[in-house]
Amino acid sequence: MAGQADAAEGGPVTVLSGSEWRESAAEHAERVDTELADILARRDSGTAHPVDDFLFHYYSVRPAQLRVWHPGMGVDLMDAPEYADRRFYRVRENRAVLDVPAFLAQRGPTVDTAHTLLTAALGQTPRFGCFGMHEWAMVLGLAQEQTRHPYLPLRFPPEEVSRIVEEVGCRCSHIDAFRFFTPAAKPLNLVQPTRERQAEFDQPGCLHVNMDLYKWAGKLSPAVSSELLFDTFVLARDIRVVDMQASAYDLTEWGLDPVRVETPEGRAEYADVQKGFAERAQPLRRELVAVTQELITIRQLVRS
């Protein structure tokens, strides 16, 4: 049965018996295997996919890493000698604990950056007026074979893409979307986000800011639980589907109908979906902020 004990760093922790944590690990692995079955089948066959490929090319977490179970901050594991070989753990008297000092020594700057950006976005008012034009701005002025996804046909010829972008307007505030704009598109954007001002521009209505919860959860693992990491993955995958549906690409061959943001009806649909993602993302963002805050507090206690 789970109990309480005093942690070497950071106060009381939950202690799980061998049977308890192995049951949790098995349940997590089963969930991941079920969710990733189609992804792994396509990867093994070499079949390209506009959603899945992005998740495992742009982000650093691999499918096998998603499957590995970590309890996260504040949970120690009894009867866990196998964790002695896992990075950022130490095992004493058959009890595995997260080696917080080692984690902070390696990931301290990442913790600080994640905390700054996650906290800033948590406090911002969400905005829903970009209508997914960032993906259009990434192909503005390009022929299909020049795009980042040349195997995907465009729904419109280049001149029509240009007309739509100019008519709808560009209001992208996320640096990691803006940096992929074509040279012709960047001057059309209402704002000019930079890395230095990212905390100012990131806001919780942005699809890419919410996808980045998966990035930060991966970088904060194993201080973040595997359940939280996978929750952020599922959110990022769902967002990426809409991201591509609202783009200038034609994904009907992959069973994905377009969200026609070139029309008023499509823009209203996009904003409604955006709001739903923002609501799903905020609790996950709060959980990640709780982890970064705890890590920062432990570091301050150790230094004092």
Q: What is the pLDDT of residues 283-299, one digit of tens each?
A: 999 999 999 999 999 99
**What value does the mean pLDDT of the chain take?**
93
> Which tokens belong to 245?
């549906």
- Our CA angle for 68, 240, 47, nearest 5°, is 75
User: Distance of CA 174 to CAs 42, 79, 121, 161, 177, Å?
Assistant: 30, 45, 11, 21, 6
1-10, 58-67, 209-218, 219-228: which has the minimum mean pLDDT?
1-10
- Would strands 3-6 and 12-16 be described as parallel, antiparallel, or unpaired? antiparallel
| Phi and psi at residue 231, to the nearest 5° | -60, -40
Tell me the whole-structure pTM to 2 decimals: 0.93
Question: Sheet holding 3-6: strands in order across?
Answer: 3-6, 12-16, 75-78, 95-98, 89-92
Q: What is the pLDDT of residues 189-200, one digit of tens each?
A: 999 999 999 999
Amino acid at 210: N
Q: To 10 degrees, the CA torsion angle through 192, 195, 196, 200?
A: 70
Q: Give the relative orientation of helices 207-220 and 226-245 as an angle to the nearest 10 degrees.
A: 150
Domain boundaries in the chain? 3-129+195-303
User: Distance of CA 139 to CAs 47, 100, 124, 127, 181, Å?
Assistant: 23, 44, 29, 24, 7
Question: Residue 4 — very low, low, confident or very high, per pLDDT cuts 50/70/90?
Answer: very low
* Confidence (pLDDT) at 260: 98
Return the H-helix or E-strand segment holding 98. strand 95-98
| Phi and psi at residue 97, to the nearest 5° | -130, 150
| Gyration radius from the chain CA atoms | 21
* Confidence (pLDDT) at 8: 42
| Residues pairing with 90 in the sheet | 97
Return the H-helix or E-strand segment holding 78. strand 75-78
* Confidence (pLDDT) at 10: 55
| Among 212, 213, 197, 194, CA closest to 286 | 213
CA distance 98 to 244: 38
* Confidence (pLDDT) at 211: 97
